[in-house]
Amino acid sequence: MTGDADADLNTMTRAQLLSTARAMRHAIRTHRDTSMHELCWHHPGMWALLPDSPTGGQIVPDWPQFMRGCIRYRQSLDKQLAQAPRSAREFGE
């Protein structure tokens, strides 16, 4: 989403733009550097950096669709991070 959703950038000072860029980089790194079970979690800190909310709010899939998506996501990690260490640690341990 661009255009009107980013209009606030036009009124920011250089210092505000740099602060915003640093906050975004921090959130992106936090998201990137998650591991284990945290990979599947919602990261509200990243979304909170945006001045706008999603049109229509958030949509949450029903359980069967959610679980199929989680499985596909985990399968993609086998391809994208094939050499990453694996763990048998359960969620909450």
- pLDDT tens-digit map of 14-72: 999 999 999 999 999 988 898 888 877 778 888 888 888 888 888 889 999 999 999 99
Answer whether residue 2 shows pLDDT above 70: no
Residue 80 confidence (pLDDT): 96
The pTM of the full predicted model, rounded to 2 decimals, is: 0.69
Q: Which long-range contacts (CB under 8 A, 24 or more apart) does 44-53 make?
A: 49/20, 49/23, 49/24, 50/5, 51/5, 51/8, 52/1, 52/5
Answer whether residue 93 shows pLDDT above 90: no
Q: What is the DSSP letter of 36?
A: G
Residue 3 confidence (pLDDT): 61
